[in-house]
Amino acid sequence: MTCWIDTHCHLDAAEFNADRDAVRAAASEAGVGHIVIPAVQRAHWREVIALAHRHGDSYALGIHPLYTPRAQEADIAALRELLLEVQDDPHLVAVGEIGLDFFVPDLDVDQQIWFYEQQIMLARQFKLPVILHVRKSSDRLLKTLRAWPVVGGIAHAFNGSAQQAHAFMDLGFKLGFGGAVTYDRALKLRELAATLPLESIVVETDAPDIQPHWLYTTAQARAAGKAQGRNSPAQLPRIAAEIAVLRGIAPEQLAQATGRNARAALRGLPAFPLL
């Protein structure tokens, strides 16, 4: 069976509270051999660590830009202490999910930048890669990374320009592609997934978010009572199969390449994920 690495799945999210272990088991049955679970806020750090250990997966620790309004400056000191505690844990692969979101209105930009740059400094201190949230913010993220380089990482859910893609690649980053690439109308994103160097991409679900097109429910349908489909890591092989078609290669070739890329981007991912 083809074996995939989901480089970005929020298995700790409340949407999985009722059936979390079953979701992970279904992913294994579908061919997802390994999952990276990035934390989004201090309250979830310990849960993310426990989940990764329970299922033999990997984790990253950080404060997501959408959670900065509820974060405190003291959380940075707490993150430093926790990274010190777990720095030798082979399940720890990055600082993340961190970054900037300039799409969501009413978020304090200066506050986001402060938390982002403080966490970049921690990544440098602990020589860890980073998992970046990139939403209408590529240029500002790159500005900090050029000033304070890290050991690479992943630009998650990348949706920028080809020029921005190559700028991240030049700094040692891989680019994450997931459910958004399955929409026919996502022409620029699909072109990037098809034409960027194969060694530059990794695959992800961002589950339970960023549903592929077959799970998406329109606002009109939701208003009529139809539930939104929940994304899960078991969807990764089907998402990746669409990327393989765009690139004109076999899914097995894509799985092997993106697995190598994930291991190059993140510290300590297992060489041969086991199902």
10 Å CB burial of residue 132 (0-12, 13-18, 19+) is: buried
Q: What is the pLDDT of residue 90?
A: 95
Four-point Cα dihedral 17, 94, 96, 8, nearest 10: -50
**What percent of the chain has a predicted confidence (pLDDT) above 70?**
97
**Is CATH 3.20.20.140 what the domain over 4-265 is classified as, yes or no?**
yes
What is the residue-averaged pLDDT of the chain? 95
Q: What is the pLDDT of residue 273?
A: 62
For the cut 60, the answer to whether the pLDDT of residue 274 exceeds it is no
Q: Is the CA virtual torsion 96, 100, 101, 105 positive or negative?
A: positive
Q: What is the pLDDT of residue 86?
A: 98
Q: How far apart, in whole angstroms, are the C-alpha atoms of residue 3 and residue 23?
A: 17
Q: What is the pLDDT of residue 270?
A: 77
* Cα dist from 87 to 23, 200, 213, 251, whole Å: 28, 27, 38, 34
User: Do 12 and 37 contact (CB within 8 A), yes or no?
Assistant: yes
Average pLDDT rounded to a whole number, residues 84-107:
97
52-88: pLDDT as tens digits: 999 999 999 999 999 999 999 999 999 999 999 999 9
161-178: pLDDT as tens digits: 999 999 999 999 999 999
Sorted by where each begins, the domain ranges of the chain are: 4-265
DSSP E strands: which ranges in 41-113?
A: 58-61, 92-101
| Token output for 263 | 């291991």
15-38: pLDDT as tens digits: 999 999 999 999 999 999 999 999
* Cα dist from 145 to 32, 84, 117, 131, 148, whole Å: 31, 22, 9, 12, 5
154-158, 216-220, 232-236: least confidently modelled range = 216-220
Q: What is the pLDDT of residue 272?
A: 59
**Which residue reads 């993310």 in tokens?**
48
Average pLDDT rounded to a whole number, residues 199-216:
97
User: Do 252 and 31 contact (CB within 8 A), yes or no?
Assistant: no
Average pLDDT rounded to a whole number, residues 240-268:
97
Q: How far apart, in whole angstroms, are the C-alpha atoms of residue 45 and residue 64?
A: 12
For the cut 60, the answer to whether the pLDDT of residue 275 exceeds it is no
Q: What is the pTM of this model?
A: 0.96
**What percent of the chain has a predicted confidence (pLDDT) above 90?**
91
